[in-house]
Structure 1
Amino acid sequence: MRRLLLAATAAAACLVTGSAVAQGPVPLIPRDVLFGNPERAGGQISPDGKWLSWTAPVNGVMNVWLAPASDPSAAKPMTSEKVRPIRQYFWSPDSRTLLYIQDKGGDENFLLYGVDVASGGEKLMTPFEKTRVQIVGISPLVPGRILVGVNNRDAKWHDVHSLDLATGKLTPVLMNTGDYSGFVADGRLVVRGALKSRSDGGSDYFRVIDNKVESKPLEQVGLDDSLSTNPLGFTNDGKTLYWIDSRGRNTAALIAQDVASGTKRVVAEDARADVGDILSNPETGEVEAYTVDYLRQDWKPIGSAIAGDVAFLNKRFPGDWTVTSRTRADDKWVIAAIASDRPSTSYLYDRKGQALTQLFESRPKLAGTPLVPMTPVVIKSRDGLDLVSYLTLPAGVDANRDGKADRAVPMVLFVHGGPWARDSYGFNAYHQWLANRGYAVLAVNYRGSTGLGKSFTNAGNLQWGLKMHDDLLDAVKWAVDQGVTTSDKVAIMGGSYGGYATLAGMTFTPTTFACGVDIVGPSNLETLLKTIPPYWEAGKVQFYKRMGDPTSAEGLALLKAASPLYKADQIKRPLLIGQGANDPRVNQAESEQIVAAMQAKNIPVTYVLFPDEGHGFARPVNNIAFNAVTENFLGRCLGGRAEPIGDTVAKSTAKVPHGAEYAPGLSQALGGK
């Protein structure tokens, strides 16, 4: 049967490869449709309303495009990246410059580039080696310049500079000789606040006057609130400072602080989850709406200014929506709308008539494919915590789409990274891909995840490989008890912390999972903390407090006990590892240590290395190649469907230092590589 699978064409691959996942003739969604370049993405409107912009491929690489707002069909590319996709860009306040950040090969040394809209001329705004730019301040009140932080003087700390967008001149504003982790500027681009890490893992917030930081902190935040409390910024008149703040409560509230008196008032809060995204008036900076994301995102207005717009958009888009840009006149917005079974679609929204004009679908080739819905579920942990989770079932397994499985199928436990992040409702290409191959997919917000209250986040402190792992095991038990899957047909997969969780699953509980897919996951927490990037210096103490302190005997013992490397000899099930050679967060050595340990014990493992990638695989050709290997690996392990590897690996930069023979079709696909 496996030989039949590997020889099948994509058209014929919809045939089921194992009775455990038999589901009828559901068409196979090609990998490149899900993971190749979107047709367009990242739609924005310029502040003056004259231009529309987005990213789209140029010779297979995502670049920034520009079109008159009056004629989107007259678009033209404004950048000329030839290898690595541009993933983040933004407009200057005066609408004269398109700005974007870019690194080299995934090293995360992001530099700032500017493209003059009138001439098309492109300029490197931060021309430094091994430097990572931060945006400190952008304001419509100061249209010709922005504030940036650059760490070219000291790799650990960012100095604040004023950047003239027309000339590219950088003028020092505040030299960071006090080990400050960040700065806050007002609407006049005056630096008003500085943040500094504390020995307890929290932060102190200092007032800045005349570009000098006061010695006594204005606000203090302890470890418990450090991941859920931070200043958002000032109103443009400088009179109000907004905070997301969990001090004195569990879930973070939106707080407005009067700068003159220091008094604070609660603007918005929700007992279920933290206040998340906000919408601020482009002219005044006043917050006009906010989201709470518990099971699903929920936009709520503040006052009446855009209450009608929020109500209209909530009704029009019952899935998630967000405002990606607003004109300075605030008459037009660009909206990105997403449902769990439909990829992003961008619209131009005319507020005056509440009129929506579709700009583009990000992946129109997915129209008509068998996409399936995602269902939010709450799973109880063994000690009573609510684990907000998301279940995606294959087509034909949930006939009435009530989110409950009609029969058991193999399952992939897909673990999010961070761990200080969260899974949310919405379109997820990985969920759709795996469900289309015949697997239920379960994503769990295990303790330590953010956005669901500080108590839930702090419950993960010093629990790597312990209660955080128990939460994942409890989710698997729930899925078995609910008839979603069977205990012998569950794989674990994830990136970054999700990769760590995969390795933990394969070593600490070696018979729970049928196989594992680790993407850029750390195997040794001691060496992970030794090799974090220098610009993460300010967060080092917080890592120690939440993971284990390698400078103490007790903390080092905790880190070693939670490191899968030291239990590599316990691995009993198939393991696939993917790594970027330039990863600054989880170094290549993290993967190579555990591969070497498994080699020494003659334990099979497949190791795929991408020399031009970092923390994850940004280039679609590489991502598609790894996913091709992954789905054939899972097909042998769980019995699901797979599109043949074909020439995907040959077209990528993938190298396989070890174990190609353990992944179906990989040796053949490598050919002469």
Structure 2
Amino acid sequence: MRSMLLAATAAACLLTGAATAQSNVPIIPRDVLFGNPERAAGQISPDGMWLTWTAPVNGVMNVWLAPAANPGAAKPITSEKVRPIRQYFWAPDSKTVLYIQDKGGDENFLLYGVDVASGAEKLLTPFEKTRVQIVGISPLVPGRILVGVNNRDAKWHDVHSLDLATGKLTPVLMNMGDYAGFVADGNLVVRGALKSRTDGGSDYYRVIDNKVEGKPLEQVALDDSLTTNPLGFTTDGKTLYWTDSRGRNTAALIAQDVATGAKKVVAQDAKADIGDVLTNPSTGQVEAYTVDYLRQDWKPLGSAVAADVALLNKQFPGDWVVTSRTRADDKWVLAAVASDKPSTTYLYDRKSKSLTPLFESRPKLAGAPLVPMQPVVIKSRDGLDLVSYLTLPASSDANRDGKADRPAPLVLFVHGGPWARDSYGFNSYHQWLANRGYAVLSVNYRGSTGLGKDFTNAGNLQWGLKMHDDLLDAVNWAVKQGVTAPDKVAIMGGSYGGYATLAGMTFTPTTFACGVDIVGPSNLETLLKTIPPYWEAGKVQFYKRMGDPTSAEGLALLKAASPLYKADKIQRPLLIGQGANDPRVNQAESEQIVDAMRSRNIPVTYVLFPDEGHGFARPVNNIAFNAVTENFLAKCLGGRAEPIGDTIAKSTAKVPHGAEFSPGLSEALGGK
């Protein structure tokens, strides 16, 4: 007992020393990390005449256009006044810039087009409560694209041809067979259809003359359903590329001869799935691919871009992505990033092999005390390798080698999905929390993707069970490595990460000093009842991977894994953030657990944003919630915090309950 007390005292002294050392590191303002980037999402038009990017107009991210020969002559071509434009792309004829936008975070994305010559902006899918899908875009058919719209039936998308000049939508294939998606070739002919199976897998059907054949061409079982997908056809329609894990663990890149059905393994890796690919803009042939185990690694296929990949790997140690290529393939736009430096966008001339910087996304971070991220592999209690990423505050890692010199409070930052993954790179949340004095650890727990189907499927029916054990094992690792002390660990995350936070607060109520839940579900039964209608095709897979609410056994599993039913176990401070328009995790998911805690007089702070959905897209709202979060964490863990100031007043935040439990929040609300 005496030795345990001495160890705890020593750890407390070291933590105090770390806090003192961190006080010498300049504070990075929240708005520099989470406000609008100065410019982002750079692209070049297919004809090479234009450059585009997103940048603020009166505080809202819009698309800007500039002649490629004169980037300084840029001007905005869109006019969004509230929500940022987060996804746009060029039409193949270089005459139109297309973008998608929803309302208030409801994820009913509609398609808009801007005519480059006239500047005229048009809504191309003028429907209510409709979500557009892009089915096909091809350089062989420059004047139109294929889109899927669910305006006839909210559950299913019908394929339409969209004339970009006139905006006319012409039905191509009406989805009367409950197909989850479609694949088109280079002539914008629909060639394949995907349908979910009763076992949670998928069947792929051939489509001929816009009619789906009755017998499936390819069958994918549940175990392969998250790691096997068609990538697309070559423009001549002769080859179909897949990422495919059937008959292996990690997803390989497969080329299938359409005429014969024969398949050839083009690339594979023993530790990770094939990730991004570079395809030739004219032929559609895959010319390079990535493998991302601990870090991204680009590899060429053949000689077409081998010299380019070698040059860029040397220049940017693997951490780069091509965002667009000209049709002539003489120029690329790419973004390069390091873990301690935000992205810089370049124009790459393939003929001269020269790189011209176009812009830095956040130039105000130049000279800021950013710190490196370190990949680490942590063993789970049953022997799985948990690929994880650790960022240490400057006070804990003076020589920046990723080894803790002294312990610091830790924030376990859990990714959403859960069928997604954390990767190496610049992470604003890691930098922000490390700057405030915290070590930050992100863990690819079982169920995460990209690391082989065995690892993904190990998460089946393990919500709140072995998936949670992986997070606990990572915390224990951090304590043993001297990264932190056992009583100085917070848990935080969004979506599944929010669920993991609630699970940590309820299932293991003394493990974490506090928790921050962002749009996390509290009741898995009600979560599955309120998913968007256009997720109908994936419902069976949710049941197989989470628990089937239509069976007594599955319902019992879902209830046992639902933090709501254990709300009375919560002992530590909890902060919850929610978007009122969230179509994935309904507002009721947060309000159920807030009500359960309030009825038991358990303190909880609940922040609601009426104009947000699944996460906070508007920077004023994100900054406001982060302001509350860092003051909450400072009280809980002892790190640093900027005052909340006027961030709440500038946002749409409402606090239905518990403002008095978060430092400075009641004062910041004023009369709001």
**By the TM > 0.5 criterion, same fold?**
yes
CA displacement, residues 251-271 of structure 1 (integer Å, 9 cap, x when unaligned): 000000000000000000000
Determine the structure 2 residue equivalent to 1:268: 267
Determine the structure 2 residue equivalent to 1:190: 189
Return the offset for 1:213: 0.1
The more displaced of 398-407 and 81-90 is 398-407
Determine the structure 2 residue equivalent to 1:482: 481
Structure 1 residues 441-456: aligned runs within 5 Å: 441-456=440-455
- Paired letter, 2:142: P
Determine the structure 1 residue equivalent to 2:135: 136
Return the offset for 1:319: 5.0
- Paired letter, 2:153: D
CA displacement, residues 147-170 of structure 1 (integer Å, 9 cap, x when unaligned): 000000000000000000000000
Return the offset for 1:18: 5.7
CA distance in 2, matches of 1:22, 1:456: 41
CA distance in 1, matches of 2:443, 2:359: 32
Determine if contact 2:253/2:266 at 8 Å carries over to the other structure: yes
Determine the structure 1 residue equivalent to 2:571: 572
Return the offset for 1:19: 4.9
Structure 1 residues 30-69: aligned runs within 5 Å: 30-69=29-68
Determine if contact 1:319/1:426 at 8 Å carries over to the other structure: no
Structure 1 residues 422-441: aligned runs within 5 Å: 422-441=421-440
- SS for the counterpart of 2:540 is helix
- SS for the counterpart of 1:396 is helix
CA displacement, residues 84-131 of structure 1 (integer Å, 9 cap, x when unaligned): 000000000000000000000000000000000000000000000000
- Paired letter, 2:19: V
In structure 1, the gaps of 5 or more residues are 1-15
Determine if contact 2:15/2:408 at 8 Å carries over to the other structure: no
Return the offset for 1:399: 1.6
- SS for the counterpart of 2:555 is helix
CA distance in 1, matches of 2:19, 2:395: 10
Q: Residue 386 and residue 17 in structure 1: after superposition, are their counterparts in 2 closer, same or farther (change >3 A)?
A: closer
CA displacement, residues 381-415 of structure 1 (integer Å, 9 cap, x when unaligned): 00000000000000131122111000000000000
**Structure 2 residue 577 is matched with structure 1 residue 585:** no
**Structure 2 residue 158 is matched with structure 1 residue 159:** yes
Determine if contact 1:96/1:116 at 8 Å carries over to the other structure: yes
Determine the structure 2 residue equivalent to 1:341: 340
- SS for the counterpart of 1:290 is strand
CA distance in 2, matches of 1:600, 1:629: 24
Determine the structure 2 residue equivalent to 1:4: none
- Paired letter, 1:389: S
Determine the structure 2 residue equivalent to 1:11: none
CA RMSD of aligned residues (A): 0.9
Determine the structure 2 residue equivalent to 1:537: 536
CA distance in 1, matches of 2:196, 2:615: 28
Q: Residue 319 and residue 26 in structure 1: after superposition, are their counterparts in 2 closer, same or farther (change >3 A)?
A: farther
Determine the structure 2 residue equivalent to 1:619: 618
CA displacement, residues 233-276 of structure 1 (integer Å, 9 cap, x when unaligned): 00000000000000000000000000000000000000010000
**Structure 2 residue 209 is matched with structure 1 residue 210:** yes
**Structure 2 residue 236 is matched with structure 1 residue 234:** no
CA displacement, residues 443-480 of structure 1 (integer Å, 9 cap, x when unaligned): 00000000000000000000000000000000000000
Determine if contact 2:297/2:318 at 8 Å carries over to the other structure: no
CA distance in 1, matches of 2:401, 2:58: 43
- Paired letter, 1:220: Q
Structure 1 residues 508-527: aligned runs within 5 Å: 508-527=507-526
- Paired letter, 1:22: T
Determine if contact 1:138/1:146 at 8 Å carries over to the other structure: yes
Determine the structure 1 residue equivalent to 2:646: 647
Determine the structure 2 residue equivalent to 1:21: 19
Determine if contact 2:298/2:318 at 8 Å carries over to the other structure: no
CA distance in 2, matches of 1:410, 1:316: 35
Determine if contact 1:151/1:159 at 8 Å carries over to the other structure: yes
Determine if contact 2:312/2:318 at 8 Å carries over to the other structure: no
Determine if contact 2:394/2:400 at 8 Å carries over to the other structure: no
Matched positions, count: 658
- SS for the counterpart of 2:406 is coil
- Paired letter, 1:202: G
CA distance in 2, matches of 1:39, 1:229: 37
- Paired letter, 2:55: A
CA distance in 1, matches of 2:380, 2:187: 49
**Structure 2 residue 662 is matched with structure 1 residue 659:** no
- SS for the counterpart of 1:528 is helix
Q: Residue 310 and residue 456 in structure 1: after superposition, are their counterparts in 2 closer, same or farther (change >3 A)?
A: same
CA distance in 1, matches of 2:478, 2:19: 16
CA distance in 2, matches of 1:62, 1:427: 20
Return the offset for 1:320: 1.1
- Paired letter, 1:500: Y
- Paired letter, 1:434: L
- Paired letter, 2:202: S
Determine the structure 1 residue equivalent to 2:504: 505
**Structure 2 residue 96 is matched with structure 1 residue 97:** yes
Determine the structure 2 residue equivalent to 1:81: 80
CA distance in 1, matches of 2:244, 2:399: 42
CA distance in 1, matches of 2:298, 2:318: 11
Q: Residue 492 and residue 526 in structure 1: after superposition, are their counterparts in 2 closer, same or farther (change >3 A)?
A: same
Determine the structure 1 residue equivalent to 2:668: 669
CA distance in 2, matches of 1:22, 1:338: 31
Determine the structure 2 residue equivalent to 1:631: 630
Q: Residue 392 and residue 319 in structure 1: after superposition, are their counterparts in 2 closer, same or farther (change >3 A)?
A: farther
Determine the structure 2 residue equivalent to 1:175: 174
CA distance in 1, matches of 2:327, 2:202: 34
Determine if contact 1:20/1:410 at 8 Å carries over to the other structure: no
Determine if contact 1:21/1:439 at 8 Å carries over to the other structure: no
**Structure 2 residue 420 is matched with structure 1 residue 421:** yes
CA distance in 1, matches of 2:133, 2:422: 26
Determine the structure 2 residue equivalent to 1:118: 117
CA distance in 2, matches of 1:641, 1:532: 38
Determine the structure 2 residue equivalent to 1:13: none
- Paired letter, 2:385: D
CA displacement, residues 328-359 of structure 1 (integer Å, 9 cap, x when unaligned): 00000001001000001000000001100000
CA distance in 2, matches of 1:510, 1:41: 41
Return the offset for 1:17: 11
Determine the structure 2 residue equivalent to 1:10: none
Determine the structure 1 residue equivalent to 2:105: 106
CA distance in 2, matches of 1:21, 1:380: 29
Return the offset for 1:647: 0.1
Determine if contact 2:102/2:110 at 8 Å carries over to the other structure: yes
TM-score by length of 1: 0.97
TM-score by length of 2: 0.97
Determine the structure 1 residue equivalent to 2:245: 246
Return the offset for 1:20: 5.2
- Paired letter, 1:660: A
Determine if contact 1:319/1:339 at 8 Å carries over to the other structure: no
Structure 1 residues 274-353: aligned runs within 5 Å: 274-353=273-352
Determine the structure 1 residue equivalent to 2:368: 369
CA distance in 1, matches of 2:267, 2:60: 42
- SS for the counterpart of 2:394 is coil
Return the offset for 1:21: 2.0
CA distance in 2, matches of 1:319, 1:213: 42
- SS for the counterpart of 2:455 is helix
Q: Residue 319 and residue 665 in structure 1: after superposition, are their counterparts in 2 closer, same or farther (change >3 A)?
A: farther
Determine the structure 2 residue equivalent to 1:596: 595
The more displaced of 77-86 and 317-326 is 317-326
- Paired letter, 1:621: V
Return the offset for 1:568: 0.2
- Paired letter, 2:671: G
- SS for the counterpart of 1:62 is strand
CA distance in 2, matches of 1:476, 1:149: 44
CA distance in 2, matches of 1:319, 1:378: 20
- Identity percentage of aligned residues: 88
- SS for the counterpart of 1:513 is coil
Return the offset for 1:205: 0.1
**Structure 2 residue 464 is matched with structure 1 residue 465:** yes
- SS for the counterpart of 2:630 is helix
CA distance in 2, matches of 1:188, 1:501: 45
**Structure 2 residue 580 is matched with structure 1 residue 562:** no
